[in-house]
Structure formats: structure tokens, C-alpha cells
Amino acid sequence: MTDRAFVVVRAGALTTVQDRGRSGHAHMGVPRSGALDPDAAALANRLVGNGVEAAVLETTLAGCAVRPRCAVTVAVGGAPCRVSVDGRPVAWGAAVRVEAGAVLEVGGAERGVRSYVAFAGGVAAGPVLGSRSTDLLSGLGPAPLADGMVLPLGAAPPPGTARYEVAPWRGVPEEVVLRVRLGPRDDWFTAGALRTFGTGAYRVSSASNRVGLRLEGPPLERARAGELPSEGMVLGAVQVPPDGRPVVFLADHPTTGGYPVVGVVREADLAVAAQAAPGTRVRFVRVG
């Protein structure tokens, strides 16, 4: 077992390959995709000596387990979780050496939603439109991990490129505050709905995924009936479907849509939004 690859022993609830995404293709109907918590993915990459653009595994809530076919340095970051090698506990947020044939077990998220597994050399799945990211909406990129799948690893980085860092993680507060700029279709909602949007208590729905953070809470009443012709959608757009409950678009969002967008969340706030587990309180704060 000397080839640079790993076998998926346990795929978990949803584990995908992610990198920095494939920006610049929205005109073809292709969203950016990429790691939902890019800072956490970049830190895990630095810990094993990779560039920040290297592809990693993104787990969702339940973790995963893999068996490398070669000795490889690995780091697990993002949502804190238990990490073990052949049943022996090892450090989360630090570089760990995993020998060929050993099983790296990434446990369920203890806080947050998504953990990141970086391998020295990166996950070398074939790129599509310049990215190795799995896009759940369009189906581009490698398929979500399944038990028994084999994925290649890239060439190991030169010795001395790994960085020792304390692994800071912002965590998820009890109430996530999302800064939002109103528009472009805030005029489709009543004045009362806009007040509710800025003061209402929302919670993350279990129906949330990489496409969007779905929220439960007070519906937003429309001032106008009917539907819009499809128009462009951006990362962080807060779309309001007919039930009136906001959906915050994340990395795998559609590039067009016909429901009105009441506002757009600042991109800097989307990582903590993506780490908010079902039931987490969410509040919107209007910014100029």
C-alpha cells in the first residue's frame, strides 16, 4: 500500500471535496461552490504544508473515516470533534501523521456543523472548470463521498512547509447575527415585514444545506403579488419563497431565481452562518 490515495471507510452524513471554489462562471449557470468555512479549510491546509487552494474534505455533523494507502500528514479543523487513528485519540487542530493502512476517524461535530480534513498534498480529484469542489446543485465536481470510494492524493509538499499554529476557531454563538444590506427587492415587502426582518427571532431549520440556510420564524408579508421573472442571484442573497420564511444562499446556490430577494448578507458573515446547527437563533441587522 504505497500509492497516494485513501479509501473511504465511513462517508458520514455528507462529506464532500471542497477547495476555494470555481468563481467566474455564474454567466453559465455555475455557482461558486467551495468550502463553506474557507478560513477553517485554509488553516487545516497550512497545518499540513499545503497552499490554501488545496482541496480538503468537508464533513457535515457526523464526521467520516478514511484509510490512507500511504503514510500522510493530516489535520482536522473547523467544527471541533474527536479525532482518532486506529482508535487512539489524536489532536484536533494540529498536524497528525497517519501511517499507511491506519484508519483516521473524524467524529461528529461537538459544536458547529462542518469539519475540514486536510491531507498533505491535497485531495487530487479531477478539476472541473478550475476547481475540485463538489457542487451539490449542478452536480459538477466529484460525487459526495460513499463507503468504499477511493480518492487520490497529490504529491506531498516539500519538508518544512507545514506551519505550526494554534488553531483558532470563531465558534458559533448562541445567537448568530447576520449583517444585511436591504435590496434589491425590499420594495416587494410591507413596512411591517421589513421591521420583522430586522427584529424577528429566527432559527436554523434542519432543511438547511450547502445551497442555503433555511430559517424558521415569522414570515415576511409581501406588498406585491405575483412572481418576478428569473434574475441573477448572488452569494448571501436572502430569498423569500411563498411561505415568507427567508433562505440565505450559501456556496451552492442557484445563479438565477424568481422569488424576491429582500437583502444580501455580508460575505464575511456566511462562514458562521454555515456553521450554525439546526435550532441556532439567527438575527438580521441592517447595515448601510
pLDDT in tens, 62-107: 999 999 999 999 999 999 999 999 999 999 999 999 999 999 999 9
Task: Evaluate whether residue 139 is within a structural domain.
Answer: yes
Residues 209 and 126 in one domain: no
Residues 179 and 137 in one domain: no
Q: Residue 66 has what pLDDT?
A: 98
3-state secondary structure of 49: coil
Determine contact, residues 53/20, Cβ cutoff 8 Å.
yes
Residues 144 and 45 in one domain: yes
Find residue 76's DSSP bridge partners: 117
Residues 51 and 137 in one domain: yes
Q: Residue 2 has what pLDDT?
A: 52
Residue 251 has pLDDT above 70, yes or no: yes
Task: Evaluate whether residue 248 is within a structural domain.
Answer: yes
Percent of the chain with pLDDT over 70: 97
Determine contact, residues 252/272, Cβ cutoff 8 Å.
no
Q: Examine the fold and report which residue of 83, 117, 152 is the final residue of a domain before the chain moves on.
A: 152
Q: What is the mean pLDDT of residues 152-173?
A: 79
Residues 37 and 148 in one domain: yes
From CA 215, how far away is CA 244, in angstroms rounded?
10
Residue 252 has pLDDT above 60, yes or no: yes
Task: Evaluate whether residue 160 is within a structural domain.
Answer: no
pLDDT digit string (tens) for 182-232? 999 999 999 999 999 999 999 999 999 999 999 999 999 999 988 899 999
Quick one: residue 129, left, alpha or beta (phi over 0 = left, psi -120 to 50 = alpha)?
A: left
Q: What is the CATH number of the domain that holds 197?
A: 2.40.100.10
Structural domain tally of the chain? 2
pLDDT digit string (tens) for 16-58? 999 999 988 888 889 899 999 999 999 999 999 999 999 999 9
Residues 140 and 183 in one domain: no
Alpha helices in 34-96 (DSSP H): 38-47
Task: Evaluate whether residue 170 is within a structural domain.
Answer: no
Q: Residue 1 has what pLDDT?
A: 42
* Residue range(s) defining the domain that contains residue 83: 5-152
Residues 131 and 181 in one domain: no
pLDDT band at 279; cut points 50, 70, 90 = very high
Task: Evaluate whether residue 196 is within a structural domain.
Answer: yes
Task: Evaluate whether residue 241 is within a structural domain.
Answer: yes
Q: Residue 166 has what pLDDT?
A: 60
Task: Evaluate whether residue 243 is within a structural domain.
Answer: yes
Task: Evaluate whether residue 221 is within a structural domain.
Answer: yes
